[in-house]
Amino acid sequence: MVKRIGGFRRKTRYKLTKEKRNRGKISMTNYFQSFSAGDRVSLYVEPAVQKGMYRPTFMGKAGIIQRMRGRCYEVSIKDGGKKKMLIIHPVHLRRA
């Protein structure tokens, strides 16, 4: 079998970059925001924080918070008819 070269950030030069005016320190309110079970959220990656980042294929999707797991949240999304569970840090989530 062919061995794949690179990780999941491969070929994401423009997908995982910020605009110039948004570069710099990240907002602490976004980093420590809290959600409760049943909240609807949108997935938007924060490239400056690698902790709790999901695969870029799920970028822009909407999901529902199931529960908290450590500092992260379990988010269920539908991906092509299948339900998937992602563990995501709150800095990568926005309220929908």
**Sequence-distant (≥ 6) Cβ neighbours of residue 51 within 8 angstroms:** 89
Q: ∠ CA(35), CA(90), CA(37), 5° rounding?
A: 25
Which residues is 62 bridged to in the sheet? 42
pLDDT, tens digit, for every residue of 16-75?
899 999 898 888 999 999 999 999 999 999 999 999 999 989 999 999 999 999 999 999
- 3 part of a folded domain: no
Confidence of residue 4 (pLDDT cuts 50, 70, 90): confident
Q: What CATH number corresponds to the domain at position 72?
A: 2.30.30.70
Contact indicator for 73, 65 with CB cutoff of 8 Å: yes
Structure tokens at 92: 């990568």
Q: CA 64, CA 40: separation in Å to the nearest integer? A: 5
Residue 95 clears pLDDT 90, i.e. is over it: yes
Establish how many alpha carbons lie within 13 A of residue 34's alpha carbon, considering only the half-sphere containing its beta carbon. Answer: 2
What pLDDT is stored for residue 74 in this prediction? 98
Helical (H) or strand (E) element with 29: helix 28-31
Residue in the structure block whose two tokens are 């929908």: 96
User: Looking at the 3D structure of the chain, how many domains does it have?
Assistant: 1
Domain presence at residue 61: yes
pTM: 0.88
Domain span holding position 63: 35-95
Q: Tokens for 11?
A: 């070929």
Any domain includes 55? yes
